[in-house]
């Protein structure tokens, strides 16, 4: 039997993807009588991620939204069936990979804070630019990084900061034509240019033999290009989509700082720099704070309904589960489905369907009380509500309140027996204990929701759970 029970336990106890792979290699070595070549391939920027049909001897691992997290390759042709026997045990690996990706995004947010501090509090422009380029060079292990500013009216770039080595001599103040190479392409298009393989790009001008990927981002302010942020790396994965998004924002901030610096110089000439500079800095700082708040909120908010999205639900459920387990409390989940919603879309059209979902999402949120609640769009026409420190009695009461509130909306739906939009609700409650997982709660609520739909819809069903989970 492969994998053995003790191997499965060890896989599920792994604290990182690397540890999970080490456990797998050990299990394969015992099963196959020797080392088996095993690799975990993550998506690479600029390259399509292959399906399992396109990549033999491999299993594709996706996140909950269907986006690829990694591809597990096991080269054991003499032991047929090993790969498929691993498929049921990939859930924990997917969780570890998703957590690693979340930690990477958090690290990028910290990076932006560090660079924002340099941008906001360093007064000397050359020191500021060198501090930024040095930080980026070290943080992303680049082969070369430069900032060049466009000289007005000359069509040339002046080197103002650099880190790394180049075959072309690098000297601060040196100028070169702005329309050359990949930098020139970014200038012509007015947008960032990412080249995952510079050896395949005829416009690439070699500066460092280690370079394999290049990213050039225009530094602009209010649509005007002020300079170019150029970064070269030995590996394309240095510039994944999350990194490029952060560097785009950074380039905008540099553009704002450059604008402020030039404004300060002009205002100093007319002896009125101080008040305008303070105003610009305050506006820039406020914009950064608002942007950071929007980024944090939008990552977990459903754009259609304005309530939490699937990511927000998963985050809220994990946090509520952990808290309930630490406090020995119950946790209750409501899964809510809009009855016959496909028929609604077919009859009234997708714009009306969107309006219906938006109205129901807001009504569900408005029907909830207290702060111990997670409300989210679970997917499609399904919604989810997590109640902390609550059992099925409280959960059923909340479900009744939500159904009545939606009934009072009186949204017409000619394809239902009631002639209006109605809901089916599954309610499940458990006491998180050691060895139990939040997925059990979701599965129980989903089963209850399925019964509600099977029994005619427009009703509430309670999940069948052990007695300990039935009382508050």
Grade residue 224 by pLDDT with cuts at 50, 70 and 90.
confident
Predicted local confidence at residue 70, as pLDDT: 80
Among 298, 324, 347, where does a domain finish? Answer: 298
Report which DSSP code applies to 317: H
Phi and psi at residue 203, to the nearest 5°: -90, -10
Interval 449-460 mean pLDDT: 96
CB 45 within 8 A of CB 241: yes
- Among the listed residues 80, 88, 89, the one whose alpha carbon sits nearest the alpha carbon of residue 23: 89
Residue 83 shares a structural domain with residue 146: no
Residues 64 and 170 in one domain: no
Tell me, yes or no, whether 332 and 242 share the same domain: no
pLDDT at 371: 63
Based on the structure, what is the number of domains in the chain? 3
**Any idea what DSSP says for residue 332?**
E
108: in domain:
no
**Does residue 236 form part of some domain?**
yes
Flag whether 465 is in a domain. Answer: yes
pLDDT tens by residue, 289-304: 877 776 766 778 898 9
Q: Looking at the structure, do residues 294 and 316 belong to the same domain, yes or no?
A: no
Residue 115 lies in a domain: no
Percent of the chain whose pLDDT exceeds 70 = 86
- The DSSP H or E segment spanning 385 is strand 382-388
Query: Are 176 and 221 part of one and the same domain?
Result: yes
Instruction: Return the CATH number at 206.
Output: 3.30.450.40
- The least confident of 33-37, 44-48, 145-149 is 44-48
pLDDT digits (tens, 9 = 90+) for 350-394: 999 999 999 999 999 999 987 668 899 999 999 999 999 999 999
User: Residue 424: its pLDDT value, please?
Assistant: 97
Name the residue range of residue 87's domain.
5-101
Length of the chain: 472
Residue 411's pLDDT band (cuts 50, 70, 90): very high
Examine the domain organization and report whether 164 and 210 are in the same domain.
yes
Triad 45, 51, 53: Cα angle to 5°: 145
Give pLDDT tens digits for 225-240. 899 999 999 988 888 8
399 part of a folded domain: yes
**Cβ(438)–Cβ(333) below 8 Å:** no
Q: Is 111 within a domain?
A: no
Mean pLDDT for the stretch of residues 118-122: 62
Residue 110 in any domain: the answer is no
191 located within any domain: yes
Please check whether residues 77 and 163 belong to one and the same domain. no
CB of 227 closer than 8 Å to CB of 257: no
We report the CATH number of the domain holding residue 406 as: 3.30.70.270
Paired sense of beta strands 193-195 and 213-221, if any: antiparallel
Residues 215, 133 share a domain: yes
For residues 93 and 136, membership in a common domain is answered with: no
């Amino acid at each position: 039997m492969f994998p053995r029970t003790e191997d499965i336990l060890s896989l599920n106890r792994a604290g990182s993807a690397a540890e999970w792979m080490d456990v797998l290699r050990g299990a394969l070595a015992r099963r196959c009588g020797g080392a088996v070549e095993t690799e975990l391939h993550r998506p690479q920027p600029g390259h399509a991620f292959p399906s399992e049909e396109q990549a033999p001897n491999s299993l594709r691992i996706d996140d909950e939204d269907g986006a690829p997290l990694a591809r597990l390759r096991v080269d054991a042709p003499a032991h047929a069936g090993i790969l498929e026997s691993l498929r049921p045990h990939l859930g924990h690996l997917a969780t570890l990979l998703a957590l690693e990706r979340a930690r990477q995004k958090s690290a990028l947010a910290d990076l932006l804070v560090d660079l924002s501090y340099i941008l906001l509090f360093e007064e000397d422009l050359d020191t500021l630019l060198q501090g930024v380029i040095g930080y980026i060079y070290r943080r992303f292990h680049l082969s070369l990084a430069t900032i060049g500013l466009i000289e007005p009216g000359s069509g040339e770039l002046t080197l103002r900061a650099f880190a790394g080595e180049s075959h072309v001599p690098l000297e601060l103040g040196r100028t070169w034509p702005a329309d050359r190479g990949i930098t020139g392409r970014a200038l012509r298009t007015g947008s960032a240019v990412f080249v995952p393989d510079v050896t395949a790009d005829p416009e690439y001008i070699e500066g460092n033999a280690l370079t394999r990927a290049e990213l050039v981002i225009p530094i602009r302010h209010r649509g005007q290009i002020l300079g170019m942020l150029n970064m070269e790396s030995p590996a394309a994965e240095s510039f994944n989509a999350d990194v490029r998004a952060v560097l785009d924002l950074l380039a905008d901030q540099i553009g704002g700082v450059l604008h402020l610096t030039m404004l300060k110089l002009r205002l100093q000439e007319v002896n009125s720099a101080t008040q305008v500079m303070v105003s610009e800095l305050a506006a820039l700082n406020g914009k950064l704070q608002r942007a950071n708040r929007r980024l944090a909120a939008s990552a977990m908010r459903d754009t259609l309904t304005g309530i939490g999205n699937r990511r927000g639900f998963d985050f809220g459920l994990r946090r509520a589960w952990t808290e309930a387990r630490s406090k020995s409390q119950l946790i209750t989940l409501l899964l809510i489905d809009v009855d016959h919603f496909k028929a609604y879309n077919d009859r009234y059209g997708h714009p009306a369907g969107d309006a219906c979902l938006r109205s129901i999402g807001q009504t569900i949120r408005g029907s909830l009380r207290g702060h111990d609640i997670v409300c989210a769009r679970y997917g499609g026409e399904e919604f989810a509500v997590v109640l902390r420190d609550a059992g099925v009695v409280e959960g059923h009461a909340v479900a009744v309140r939500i159904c009545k509130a939606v009934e009072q909306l009186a949204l017409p739906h000619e394809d239902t027996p009631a002639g209006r939009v109605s809901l089916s609700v599954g309610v499940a409650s458990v006491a998180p204990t050691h060895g139990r997982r939040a997925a059990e709660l979701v599965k129980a609520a989903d089963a209850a929701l399925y019964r509600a739909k099977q029994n005619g819809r427009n009703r509430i069903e309670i999940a069948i759970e052990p007695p300990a989970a039935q009382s508050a």
